[in-house]
Structure 1
Amino acid sequence: MVSVTQVEGEYPFLRQNSSSEQSKGDQVPPKGIKTHLYSLGVIPKDNDACGGSFTAEDSQSLLDTFLLSQWEYHAWRGQLEYDVTACEFKVISGRKKFIVQLNNRWNAQFLKEFENNFLEPLRFMKSNYMKNCKEEILFCVCQGEKESSELLPLTVLPKDGVLIIANGNPVEYGHVYLVPYVSHQLPLFWDRKILGLVTQIAVEVNNSSFRVFLDNASTTSGHIHFQANYFANPLPVELFPTISAYEDVLITDTQICEVMDYPLKTLVFMSKNLKSLVALVTKICSTLHSQNTAFNLLITDCGTKIYLFPQVKNVTMECQLFPWECGGYFVCNNEANYENISETEISKHLASVSLDDGSFKAFKHVCFSIAVNLVD
């Protein structure tokens, strides 16, 4: 069991800036908390290669084992709304192999409730979160300074890191939030360090079933946060063929490809170099966010592949898609819809928020320009 303990003393969870508008009101961060801390090992500077202490052929990684054990214990204690492993699911007949889950207890408003209860535009977390929701915090991940990763039990939170928080309305096994925080300031969109840390978590977990999502399209908090869970099988979008977006010209050591024949126009970025991959995707996402363009991310293949789903929906409007829906995985909380849903219906739903051909061509040109500028 992970204990989250309120501690007395001068160590601030988030230091308050009395001269800032962010410090006004009664939402004062706690003085400090303790939780288990997973400290990531330093990536070698000689090649910035993506990869931790394990390879795909090795045994289960420490972070993977710890995350699953904490989530399973949380579920065993009855702190989830339902047992997601008992839910029925099926692969829709047709070429695209969309996956649909039947879950009549799933709450489609869970993300908004999470943001309303725990996040707000100008702060990392509301002060009452730690007091009322200690059990949802499974542990914290931070970037360490040692060569090897290590697990530190019941440690005061560092100045910055990523909180791993259980999602009470899981879409799949091991469903958690990954919520970055830093002292003194709130990490808004977009910070290379944040995406780098989250991607390194995916590398360290080193489980091909583990996938990380970013839902920029529907978030209203203004604060970047991720979700992750485990899927037994590849998501449908991962099974579609890809072609180089730039006539097989490799601009950097990050390959940029277009997913072919998928109803939602998608780019995928692939690299074994974590630094290069994160730098490019961060810059592109920052550009999209500054233009109020909706998008979702999917980090897969143990952190070496990132799917980008740009959408026509403006971020100020209600989004039609959850990030896993972009990947072809849907949840129905109605048995009639579950029985009758078709590949055609899902394809139309995805296509309704997809960029048209002209806009997607312009988007690819922007990505090309960003990639070239990063090389120069």
Structure 2
Amino acid sequence: MDNFNATTMSRVPTLISLNQLADYSPLDEMEGASPPRVEANLVHAMKPCKSTVASITRDATPCYLFPACRMPNAVPPLSAERLAASQSEQQKTMSDSDGENDSNSDTQLYGIGEYETESASGEYASTLGQSAFDDILLSHWEDRAELGLFRYDVTECATKVLPGELGFVAQLNEGRALKKRPTEFKIDQVAQPFDPTKFNFNKAGINEVLFTFGAATGIATSKYNEIDATIDGPSADLAVDSPMFDPNLVLINVSPIEYGHVLLVPSVLSCLEQKLTLPTFRLALEMIREADNPFFRIGFNSLGAFATINHLHFQAYYLSTAFAVERATLSAVTDVTFVPPSPEMNAACPMESACGGAFEESDFSSVHICTLADYPVRGMCFYITSIADIAKLAAVVSSCCERMHDANIPHNVFVCDRGLRAFVFPQCFAARQAAGEVPESVLATGVNPAVFEISGHLVLKRKEDYDNADETWARNILSEVSLDAPTFSRVVSLMLTGK
């Protein structure tokens, strides 16, 4: 394996606004480019917003839709070029119509069309640059930066790759230490009911919402609307099954770790507790699939594993290098066989109820199950080689997490490789800290070993730690998170069999 020198990172280049799509340049032609800097007075302005998510309406935010009944390998994700072409064609059509249909003038609907791009592996992927999902997400994210909605400017944070075999990434983020929202609940209970008196995403400003994200019946390709017209109006043919508006939201993380840091909040008005389930994890996998970007990863923290808000959410951002865990050696699990969940566990998944799928099958052999062989935190890797098996991956990982949730085992989940790989880490840092077993030197760093830290992106609060960090130091920090070998073996059995 290659050794990595300590080098300063550059962030993923992107667009400033949707208006720049016409001048779009593929990612590989923009190597070394940096995102625009935001004026400090804008970054720290923290504009208040009187309207909150609790009062969200269908016409309050844009909408990104993917096919609920998408056939495996049928079409690639929506690309930026196709979005731009559709936008140009739509503008031409609207101009030619001379305003004959004013009812459609406020809705911009984009589709992939009939174009298909196939990778060497036989799977569909975007080979023309960033996907339309990336461009839409990042342009809206940058708009929020210009409005001053972030607590600090994450693009000013120093970042480097540490020398060593795994290539841990260190970031100096002093602002996050001072301005991150504190935890408001007990850290020794993974299962806790939603508490409306605590902070939750229904209390977030509506200006923090980038767009809604969800499945729609009646479409064959992904769509994007500048307004959510999924019920009634010009796009009534895209109507979702339920008349109740309970959207899946993509919001900014106001205390970002990296560029493009967002939150995916499934069924925000249902006030779900922080528990990974089959339908919600499937939604997260569809999100990373739409991004179609190797730099885009998704993470989940349970309560007790450094989730700070008990309102179901996933985190995601872009990092233009591999995470350390992605380079770790894997060892196949051969002594324990996965016992699939009962069909009742999957009945609530809207995508599967609409389309059928693999959940009633008993053959999950296409989901490869491994443990990490040379990593400081004991964990598991679940991976598939074809996106056609994404439903099975969702079933296996969600089942493992629900079993840990019910057994009060804190855990973190890291998803990468466009949704083909998911790492699961049962952890015990909070319990060891409460028992006085974590060395003071580790506690003094202020490192919170949540999902992205465990996976290899260390967010540091002190300059001396950043200046002196190396791979040995990083391994020592993360080793305090890990279960011991006998406990980990028992947890693996519980995850895979329920016993």
TM above 0.5, yes or no, is yes
Q: 1:280 to 1:182 in 2, by over 3 A?
A: same
Asked if 2 retains the 8 angstrom alpha-carbon contact of 1:37 and 1:151, the reply is yes
Choose from 191, 211, 216 the match for 1:139.
Answer: 211
Q: State how far apart, in whole Å, the 1-side matches of 2:382 and 2:165 are.
A: 24
Q: Which residue of 2 aligns with 1:22?
A: none
Match status 1:38 vs 2:151: no
Give matches, 1:105-184, under 5 Å. Answer: 105-107=175-177, 110-112=180-182, 121-122=193-194, 133-145=205-217, 146-155=219-228, 159-181=245-267
User: Which of 426, 448, 461 pairs up with 1:333?
Assistant: 461
SS in structure 2 of the partner of residue 160 of structure 1: coil
Give the residue type in structure 1 aligned to 2:221: S
Q: Is the 8 A contact 1:218 1:315 kept in 2?
A: no
Aligned length: 346
Task: Answer whether contact 1:293 1:313 (CA < 8 A) is retained.
Answer: no
Whole-Å separation in 1 of the counterparts to 2:247 and 2:278: 13
Cα shift at 1:121: 4.6
How do residues 262-281 of structure 1 correspond to structure 2 at under 5 angstroms? 262-271=375-384, 272=387, 273-281=389-397
Q: CA deviation at 1:105?
A: 2.1
- CA shift at 1:256, angstroms? 0.8
1:75 is matched with 145
Equivalent residue number for residue 229 of structure 1: 317
Q: Which among 236, 243, 259 is matched to residue 331 of structure 2?
A: 243
Where does the alignment leave 5 or more consecutive residues of structure 2 unmatched? Answer: 1-16, 19-48, 79-123, 186-191, 231-243, 338-362, 435-446
Larger fraction in helix: 2
1:213 Cα deviation after fit: 0.7
Question: Which residue number corresponds to residue 125 of structure 2?
Answer: 55
Tell me the TM-score normalised to structure 2 length.
Answer: 0.61
In 1: Cα distance, 2:75 partner to 2:180 partner: 33
Q: Does 1:310 align with 2:423?
A: no
- Matched with 2:155 is 85
Deviations 1:294-322 (A, max 9, x none): 11111111111111111124689889412
Deviations 1:36-90 (A, max 9, x none): 1111123435x59997455042443221110011112222333323332232222
- Whether the aligned pair in 2 keeps the contact of 1:199 and 1:303 (CA below 8 Å) is yes
Q: Are the aligned partners of 1:102 and 1:333 in contact in 2 as well (CA < 8 Å)? A: yes
- 1:191 is aligned, of 269, 277, 285, to 277
Cα distance change of structure 1 residues 126 and 152 upon mapping to structure 2, 3 Å threshold = farther
Q: Hey, which of these two has a bigger chunk of strand by percent? A: 1
Distance 1:316 1:334, change over 3 A: closer
Matching residue's letter, 2:223: E
Who is 1:10 aligned against? none
Q: Which moved more, 1:270-279 or 1:88-97?
A: 88-97
C-alpha contact (below 8 Å) 2:403/2:495 kept by paired residues: no
Checking the alignment, whether the CA contact within 8 Å between 1:293 and 1:315 is kept in structure 2 is no
Alignment match, 1:292: 408
Sort the Cα spacing of 1:340 and 1:188 in 2 relative to 1 into closer, same or farther, 3 A.
closer
Structure 1 or 2, whichever has the larger Rg, is 2
Q: Which stretch has the larger CA shift, 330-339 or 247-256?
A: 247-256
Distance across 2 between alignment mates of 1:362 and 1:50: 42
Residue by residue, what CA displacement relative to the aligned partner does 1:111-153 show, whole Å, maximum 9, x if unpaired? 53699xxxx9536798997687222111111111121111122
Q: Which amino acid aligns with 2:489?
A: K
Q: For the Cα contact (< 8 Å) 2:51–2:205, is it kept in 1?
A: no
1:365 has 2:493 as partner: yes
What TM-score, normalized to structure 1? 0.80
Q: CA deviation at 1:168?
A: 2.1
Q: Is the 8 A contact 2:364 2:392 kept in 1?
A: no
In 1: Cα distance, 2:260 partner to 2:213 partner = 16
Residues of 2 paired with 1:31 and 1:270: CA distance? 37
Cα distance between partner residues in 1 of 2:56 and 2:155: 38
- Over 3 Å counting, the alpha-carbon distance change for 1:125 and 1:74 in structure 2 is farther
Give the superposition deviation at 1:208.
0.6
Per the alignment, do residues 298 and 51 of structure 1 end up closer, same or farther by CA in structure 2, a change over 3 Å counting? farther
Q: Is the 8 A contact 1:39 1:143 kept in 2?
A: yes
Amino acid in the other structure paired with 2:413: L
Contact 1:208–1:301 (Cα < 8 Å) also in 2: yes
Whether the 8 Å contact between 2:200 and 2:311 is mirrored in structure 1 is no
Q: Is the 8 A contact 2:63 2:228 kept in 1?
A: yes
CA distance in 2, matches of 1:65, 1:98: 27
* Residues 169 and 458, structure 2, Cα contact 8 Å, conserved in 1: yes
SS of aligned partner of 2:453: helix
Q: Which amino acid aligns with 1:174?
A: G
Q: Deviations over 1:128-186 (max 9, x none)?
A: 97687222111111111121111122227963332111122211110111111255563
Separation in structure 2 between the aligned mates of residue 133 and residue 178 of structure 1, nearest angstrom:
15
Which deviates more from structure 2 when the two are superposed, residues 215-224 or residues 350-359? 215-224
Give 2:205's aligned amino acid.
C
Does the 8 A contact of 1:259 with 1:265 survive in 2?
yes
Aligned counterpart for 2:366 among listed residues 239, 248, 253: 253
CA distance in 2, matches of 1:39, 1:228: 18
Tell me, which stretches of 5 or more residues in structure 1 are unaligned?
8-12, 14-28
Cα distance in 2 for residues equivalent to 1:182 and 1:85:
29
Amino acid at match of 2:55: P
Q: Secondary structure at the match of 1:234?
A: coil
Distance verdict in 2 for CA 1:156–1:61, change over 3 Å: same
CA separation of 1:38 and 1:357: change in aligned 2, threshold 3 A: same
2:29 corresponds to: none
